[in-house]
Amino acid sequence: MADSTEPRRGDRLRVMISCGEPSGDLYAGALASEILKLEPDAAITGFGSERLRAAGASLVRDFKGLSVTGLTEALRVIPRSWQNYRALVRAAESERPDVFVPIDFPDFNFFLARALHKRGVPIVYYISPQLWAWRRGRLKTMKRVTDRVLVIFPFEKPFYDEAGVPATFVGHPLLELTGPPVPRDTFLRARGLDPSKPVVAILPGSRRNELRAILPDLVRTSGAIAARVPAAQFIVARAPHLDDELLAPLAEWPAHATRPVVIEGETDAVLASADVAVVASGTVTVQAALHGCPMVVVYRVGPLTYKLGKPLLHVNTYAMVNLVAGTRVVPELIQDAFTPEAAAAEALRVLTDPAHAAKVKRDLADVRARLGTAGASRRAAEAVIEIARAGRERRSLS
């Protein structure tokens, strides 16, 4: 006979989470883990990948192959996105969640949030989309459908407060997810690298269109760096589950430059060991800041995407680390400004000017301090559970 103290299936807290790219999956997994620590019997379902699944969630669909950037690039994945959307709506109709937690990925999650809101599901948006940067018209939707927005950057809360959107600053989850790496000497020696020589990290991104647009010029950038600093060693940090063909530009590695070591799934260790990193704009800029690694931020999208999107921007800087700092503490080379020569010049400035490198590291330490304290995932989990329980109570009284 079942223990009478065990919760009945219908009493289990039901949480649906949706994320659409590797960084979101990282945060989703951490959030799910914290929810289950607080509510061990919770049933978590949703849209994600390995990390969310490993944390104990039951995936309705996996987002592999859907992560792209750009207006025109997104058109190619619409059919699969629609299939995933319908599957998640059907899952929510079959077993109604007590709360839905979209994590960033707004082009998909806004549609899903609207659908679940219409079905009476409370919405807690975690890792807010960058509405302060562009497409501010979406604020109306955010205000209409969300019960709360959980923001991870300090400048986001005043933005949402002014718009009348309930927002809570929980801090950045990377503060707790970025553990102490292997000592630099140990990490480098284990990969055949010399700790006494400069190390340049190359991080070309995790999306297919990012690598195709960026990696060839990062290879040329490395050649330009090696021409000035022949002792430079190179590490290419490969995002998990990338097709090998996306790394084909590495076959064109300059003959005069030391061959790169390609490392998968150890971004934190790579950044902690590098003297400078050349990175595709994204979450990795925050990771680099947490490790105090000076960086050169680069980015490029399709010409049409850039032309259509630029007039919609409300910021004059792109890299998250610069937005947090409130000033440009690391160089950004976006679109036409990203050339191998320009990227190499910025990296060489770090490698050859100790005073400049020291200043950048001080600025990055200030960025880290602005990101709050560790425990963002736990604070987010507490907020999600609070909203879910409040929604249950409202339904029981209606």
Q: pLDDT tens digits for 386-396?
A: 999 998 888 77
Q: Do residues 34 and 380 lie in contact, with contact meaning Cβ atoms separated by under 8 Å?
A: yes
Beta-bridge partner residues of 202: 236, 278
- pLDDT of the residue at 7: 40
Neighbours of 110 (CB within 10 A): 18
Which token pair is 218?
A: 């990062």
pLDDT of amino acid 4: 36
Q: What's the confidence (pLDDT) of residue 114?
A: 97
DSSP label of 207:
S
Residue ranges of alpha helices (H) inside the chain are 22-38, 50-54, 71-74, 78-94, 106-118, 139-145, 156-163, 174-177, 184-189, 208-228, 267-273, 284-290, 303-309, 320-325, 340-352, 354-370, 376-397
Predicted TM-score (pTM) of this structure: 0.86
pLDDT of residue 9: 45
Q: Which residue, chain included where needed, has tokens 């990012």? A: 210
Give backbone dihedrals phi and psi of 326, rounded to 5 degrees, phi first.
80, 5
Of 272, 305, 245, which Cα lies nearest the Cα of 72? 305
Cβ burial 28-40 (10 Å sphere, 16+ → b, else e):
bbbbbbbbbeebe
Phi and psi for 35 in degrees, rounded to 5? -60, -45
Q: Which residues of the chain have pLDDT under 50?
A: 1-9, 68, 71-72
Quote the pLDDT of residue 317: 76
pLDDT score of 393: 83
